[in-house]
Amino acid sequence: MRRAWKIYRLLAAQNLKRLMEYKADFLTGAISFLVDQAIGIAFIFIIFTQIPQLAGFTFEQIVFIYGFSQIPKGLDHLLADNLWCVGYFIVRKGDFDKYLTRPINPLFHVIAETFQVDAIGELVVGIGLIVYAAPNAGLHLSVWTILLSVIVIPFSALIYTSLKIMTSALAFWLKSSGFIIQMVYGMNEFSKYPTTIYSFPVRIFVTYIIPFAFTGYYPALYILTGNNPWFNIGGFLLSHFLSGTREYHHMKVPVHKIL
Amino acid sequence: MNKIRKRYVPFMKAGVQSLIIYRMNFLGFIIGGLIYCFVMFYLWRAVFDSNGGGMFLGFSMTDMVIYLFLSNTTSQLTFSSVSNDIGEEIKDGSIAMRLLKPVNTDLSYLFNELGGVLLKLVIFVIPMILGLEIYRYCVTGTIMFNAINFLLYVLSAILAYIISFRINLCFGFIAFYVKNLWGIGILKNSIIGFLSGSLIPLAFMPEVLRLCLEYMPFASMSYTPVMIYMGKYGAYEILFRLGIQVVWAVLLYGLSKLIWLGAIKKLCVQGG
Amino acid sequence: MIYAEHLRKEFKKIVKEPGLKGSFKALFKPKKEIVVAAQDISFHVPKGDILGFIGPNGAGKSTVIKMLTGILTPTSGECRINGKIPQNDRKKYVKEIGVVFGQRTQLWWDLPLQETYLVLKEIYEVDDAKFKKRMAFLNEVLELEKFIKSPVRTLSLGQRMRADIAASMLHSPKVLFLDEPTIGLDVVVKDNIRQAIMKINKEEQTTVILTTHDISDIELLCDRIVMIDKGKNVYDGSLHELRENFGQTRELVFEADDDSGLTEEQFRKSLKLGKEDLVIERDKNNFKVRFNSAKIPVGDMLSHTLSVTKVKDISVKDSDIEEIIRNLYRQGEVSDE
């Protein structure tokens, strides 16, 4: 464990060094995601110039949910971005061999290798929106809600990472699985808004099958209302452990059997 | 004409072939776009519900559905990846290979993509329009398909593609200065998504902003054809909008040529 | 040291019929075909040897290397390196080997070369004192100091290859796998790399397995060669033996004054040789006659030539290894048909 941490720090430091060399690229990346987010907010803003409430939520509350959903997304983006490359070309080009000739866990190695600072865009927007919306969103603040919602963030990020591990590992069978990652990942759009706006099957889908709703709406709802901690937080912990273990094996199987 | 055909058709064939080879990625993008449309659909439905149903800024929910899906489809149709292609070629130096071929460089890019555009029109856009019309029929009970509007839509979409192609051509040359093409791509797509009205109908934007955006080339890239298809414009306005598209196509043609000439010079200075 | 016993590797491949219909079929009712990348490969390498592992493209070389390095699991058969089965405890095993894939790099592309070594030091758990000593040794052998501070992407191909070999040697592996280490390099750089490999082998008794298409790599480096074709062993033995057994071909090179009557047909007829025993190549008046010295002694060949034509310049060359290997490949093809 300590060795893993040391290697991780070292690799992250390398990434930061690289960043210094390509400052302009870092800026374009971060600004791009910032603008992308800003446009999403402009969209909500324009809608709310016309209506006072959306599905029973005020502007601030919607912004709060939106902001909350961006933090786990940004965290996964920051730490596990290399999985995209696994799905798109590392396996196809045969570059995965490199990881298999090293005496550390290849999944850890591949994830540790990139530290994607572009994600600052999402994180800044997420935190900014929460700070902006919190005073007027009518939060249900207590030690518990704050504690649990902080705990929930890294686990929410793990939902993203797990789904990415699972879909990128499909490349071991399909050679390239970028499009599948793209499709599954794209469903995170659903996490930005209250699930109550969706029809029943969609709601079931984003809650139980591809549990993106647990990365944004449910935990945010818990802070907003203080209700149903077991479902909003606990349910998601369960889904995470289920998917987490499943994905890890998923990744392990092909490495040993297929390759 | 014959000469052009002979010289550029191979580029077109290569383009179609690579689209077929990467058809899964292509499918992924289409499905990704549709997922996005559905999220937006539910969001708008909630907006309409919160507004007490009925009309919202001159759009009915049915209009909104048509708008959402058709503008997404149209942006996919007019999407040009030429900025990426050029960017990659500049980065790995293979642009020199393209310059060595005895063909007009931007035409070779254009034909490379054109095959794919036609393919998308047939296997994606037309089924989508069919589906939307069936939806509209189920909701309203009347067939509202208008052949003239459809033809005008196709014409306007072609102009939209040309504009999109030229804009992307200009964007591609940024690769001379910036290495993070991927970030630039995200930036470009989200800016175009917003300014072209494929995210929010321009009609919903504040008056001043709307007027500005309607005259910018981005609106020509999906908003204009979709509005024409939906019959939101009268005959005079259609002509006017098409005129704006033509003007932009010509202006951007000139701009991309200028940048291209500048870029070639830079290429020579750098020694390839 | 290295034992490979009857290694076999099969892949399942989905066969797709052309066209859209074929794609659908492949999606719902995939037709699987088994591709045998390695059929039956056996060899062993004693400690400290350099083994040349050769064969034409698609013979299964890379598949075997990947099985030996623990990346692929054999369908049947077994390999043991240092008494370990690579797949059993991969992490432990790979600490004892170094791998270089000539076509790819394991260096971090955007970073100064030095940084790669620092990361690898941690990954392979090399302690500080050992690392220092090791870098000094590698520096000396591979001459890294000139570019160790430059970003990897700015290195030339030869520098990059040296850097890659150093990266694979950092943890003092007992076995070094080199998959086409001289590919794409110019003669001087190739020589440089060969010297380094030789030095490493000599000073550390590192066992080396090397695949290559460059015959001079083999001539200069390898004690022994294993040749495979179509997934099977074709030859296993020393280079010397190979020459003895298969190297009966000699080459007679001369420039003729007049070329009347100097055709393959006539040569064969008057010497009573078959097609496989005599081949003539000509470029204007320059002739190259390749013949089997087991069937016709060199002296007879010379006197015959001199009797039919006037020559300006004449010489006889020993069979070169490239020629032998080409013949062996060809034999493989024939027996296959």
Interval A86-143: pLDDT, tens: 888 888 777 888 888 888 888 888 888 888 888 888 898 899 999 998 888 777 777 8
For residues A186 and A173, the answer to whether their CB atoms sit within 8 Å is no
Mutation target vs A (from C84, C89, C108, C109; most A CBs, 10 A cutoff): C108
For residues C61 and C228, the answer to whether their CB atoms sit within 8 Å is yes
As a whole number of angstroms, the distance between CA B5 and CA B107 comes to 11
**For residue range C252-268, what is the model confidence (pLDDT) as tens digits?**
888 887 666 677 787 88
Quote the pLDDT of residue A235.
Answer: 56
How many distinct structural domains can be found in chain B? 1
As a whole number of angstroms, the distance between CA A200 and CA C55 comes to 61
**For residue range B16-33, what is the model confidence (pLDDT) as tens digits?**
766 666 667 777 778 888
pLDDT above 70 for C104: yes
Q: Fill in the DSSP letter of residue B175.
A: G
Helix (H, G, I), strand (E, B) or coil at B177: coil
A45 and B CB contact within 8 Å: no
C92 and A CB contact within 8 Å: yes
pLDDT above 50 for C337: no
Q: Å from B6 to nearest chain A CA? A: 34
**For residue range B137-196, what is the model confidence (pLDDT) as tens digits?**
888 888 878 889 999 999 999 999 999 999 888 888 777 777 667 777 778 888 888 888
| A96, two tokens | 């995965």
A103, C124: Cβ pair inside 8 Å?
yes
For the domain made up of C248-318, the CATH class stated in words is: alpha beta
Least Cα distance to A182 among B33, B152, B168 occurs for B33
Quote the pLDDT of residue C158.
Answer: 87
Quote the pLDDT of residue C26.
Answer: 59
* Residue-averaged pLDDT of chain B: 82
Each domain of chain C, given as residue ranges in start order, spans: 2-7+39-243, 248-318
* Residue-averaged pLDDT of chain A: 80
B57, A189: Cβ pair inside 8 Å?
no
C72 and A CB contact within 8 Å: yes
pLDDT above 60 for A242: no
pLDDT above 70 for A252: no
Quote the pLDDT of residue B60.
Answer: 86
Higher pLDDT, C24 or C168: C168
As a whole number of angstroms, the distance between CA A198 and CA A213 comes to 11
| B246, two tokens | 């033509």
As a whole number of angstroms, the distance between CA C289 and CA B209 comes to 85
Name every residue whose Cβ is closer than 8 Å to that of residue C190 and which is 6 or more positions away in sequence: C182, C214, C216, C217
Confidence class of residue C21 from pLDDT cuts 50, 70 and 90?
low
Quote the pLDDT of residue A253.
Answer: 44
What residues pair up with C226 in beta bridges, in sequence order? Answer: C53, C236
A47 and B CB contact within 8 Å: yes
Quote the pLDDT of residue B164.
Answer: 92
Name every residue whose Cβ is closer than 8 Å to that of residue C153 and which is 6 or more positions away in sequence: C109, C110
B contact chains, 3+ CB pairs < 8 A: A
**For residue range B26-67, what is the model confidence (pLDDT) as tens digits?**
777 788 888 888 888 888 888 888 877 678 777 888 888 999
Helix (H, G, I), strand (E, B) or coil at C144: coil
A44 and B CB contact within 8 Å: no
Q: How many CB atoms lie within 10 A of CB C247?
A: 19
A33, B186: Cβ pair inside 8 Å?
yes
A51, A52, A197 member nearest B42 (Cβ): A197
Residues of B engaging A, defined by a Cβ cutoff of 8 Å? 24-29, 31-32, 35-36, 38-39, 42-43, 45-47, 49-51, 56-57, 177-180, 182-184, 186-187, 190-191, 193-194, 199-200, 204-206
As a whole number of angstroms, the distance between CA B25 and CA A179 comes to 5
* Residue-averaged pLDDT of chain C: 82
For residues B29 and A182, the answer to whether their CB atoms sit within 8 Å is yes
**For residue range A153-203, what is the model confidence (pLDDT) as tens digits?**
888 888 888 888 888 888 877 777 888 888 888 888 888 888 888 888 888
Quote the pLDDT of residue A158.
Answer: 84
Q: B218-235 burial string, b = 16+ CB within 10 Å, else e? A: bbbbbbbbbbbbbebbee
B179, A180: Cβ pair inside 8 Å?
no
Quote the pLDDT of residue A249.
Answer: 47
Work out the average pLDDT over C63-84: 87
**Which residue range(s) make up the domain with B149?**
2-270
**For residue range A5-35, what is the model confidence (pLDDT) as tens digits?**
888 888 888 888 777 777 777 777 788 888 8
**For residue range B82-91, what is the model confidence (pLDDT) as tens digits?**
888 887 777 7
CATH, domain C2-7+39-243, list 3.40.50.300, 3.40.50.11740, 3.40.190.10, 3.40.50.720:
3.40.50.300
Torsion of CA C90, C91, C95, C98, to 10 degrees: 50
As a whole number of angstroms, the distance between CA C291 and CA C319 comes to 10
Altogether, the residues listed in chain B come to a count of 272
Per the listing, tokens 């095959």 go with: B115
Residue type, B244: I
Quote the pLDDT of residue C182.
Answer: 86
Confidence class of residue C332 from pLDDT cuts 50, 70 and 90?
low
Measured between beta carbons, which residues in chain B are less than 8 angstroms from residue A125? none
The ipTM is 0.76
Q: Å from B18 to nearest chain A CA? A: 15
Confidence class of residue B272 from pLDDT cuts 50, 70 and 90?
very low
Q: Å from A25 to nearest chain C CA? A: 13
For residues B224 and B162, the answer to whether their CB atoms sit within 8 Å is no
Higher pLDDT, A49 or C325: A49
Per the listing, tokens 């400690």 go with: C47
Helix (H, G, I), strand (E, B) or coil at C313: strand
| B66, two tokens | 């048509």
Torsion of CA C204, C210, C216, C220, to 10 degrees: 20
**3-state SS, one letter per residue, for chain A:** CHHHHHHHHHHHHHHHHHHHHCHHHHHHHHHHHHHHHHHHHHHHHHHHCCCCCECCECHHHHHHHHHHHHHHHHHHHHHCCHHHHHHHHHCCCCCCHHHHCCCCCHHHHHHHCCCCHHHHHHHHHHHHHHHHHHHHCCCCCCHHHHHHHHHHHHHHHHHHHHHHHHHHHCHHHHCCCHHHHHHHHHHHHHHHCCHHHCCHHHHHHHHHHCCHHHHCHHHHHHHHHCCCHHHHHHHHHHHHHHHHHHHHHHHHHHHHHCC
As a whole number of angstroms, the distance between CA C27 and CA C90 comes to 34
For residues C200 and C206, the answer to whether their CB atoms sit within 8 Å is yes
Name every residue whose Cβ is closer than 8 Å to that of residue A187 and which is 6 or more positions away in sequence: A206, A210, A212, B35
C94, A101: Cβ pair inside 8 Å?
yes
Mutation target vs A (from C115, C118, C171; most A CBs, 10 A cutoff): C115
C108 and A CB contact within 8 Å: yes
Measured between beta carbons, which residues in chain C are less than 8 angstroms from residue A101? 69-71, 94, 97, 99, 106
Least Cα distance to A3 among C124, C88, C117 occurs for C124
C79 and A CB contact within 8 Å: no
Quote the pLDDT of residue A259.
Answer: 38
B180, A22: Cβ pair inside 8 Å?
yes
A183, B31: Cβ pair inside 8 Å?
yes
Q: Which residue of A has its CA nearest to B25?
A: A179
As a whole number of angstroms, the distance between CA A136 and CA C251 comes to 94
Quote the pLDDT of residue C185.
Answer: 84
As a whole number of angstroms, the distance between CA C17 and CA C30 comes to 10
Name every residue whose Cβ is closer than 8 Å to that of residue B253 and which is 6 or more positions away in sequence: B166
B25, B39, B187 member nearest A179 (Cβ): B25
Quote the pLDDT of residue B242.
Answer: 93
Work out the average pLDDT over A209-225: 80
Helix (H, G, I), strand (E, B) or coil at C58: coil
For residues C210 and C217, the answer to whether their CB atoms sit within 8 Å is yes
Higher pLDDT, C309 or B256: B256
**For residue range B223-243, what is the model confidence (pLDDT) as tens digits?**
899 999 988 888 899 999 999
In sequence order, which ranges of chain C are alpha helices (DSSP H)? 19-28, 61-68, 90-94, 113-123, 128-142, 157-169, 187-204, 215-221, 239-246, 264-271, 298-308, 321-336
Quote the pLDDT of residue B20.
Answer: 66
Measured between beta carbons, which residues in chain C are less than 8 angstroms from residue A3? 122, 125
Measured between beta carbons, which residues in chain C are less than 8 angstroms from residue A97? 66, 71, 101, 104
Measured between beta carbons, which residues in chain B are less than 8 angstroms from residue A119? none
Altogether, the residues listed in chain C come to a count of 337
Confidence class of residue B248 from pLDDT cuts 50, 70 and 90?
very high
pLDDT above 70 for A244: no
Higher pLDDT, A24 or C119: C119
Q: Which residue of A has its CA nearest to B56?
A: A50
As a whole number of angstroms, the distance between CA C229 and CA C327 comes to 12
Q: Å from B207 to nearest chain A CA? A: 12
A28 and B CB contact within 8 Å: yes
As a whole number of angstroms, the distance between CA C167 and CA C120 comes to 7
Name every residue whose Cβ is closer than 8 Å to that of residue C70 and which is 6 or more positions away in sequence: A100, A101, C86, C87, C90, C93, C94
Mutation target vs B (from A57, A116, A197; most B CBs, 10 A cutoff): A197
Q: Which residue of C has its CA nearest to A174?
A: C14
pLDDT above 70 for A258: no
Q: HSE (CB half, 13 Å, CA atoms) of A59?
A: 13
Torsion of CA C217, C223, C227, C231, to 10 degrees: -110
C104, A94: Cβ pair inside 8 Å?
yes
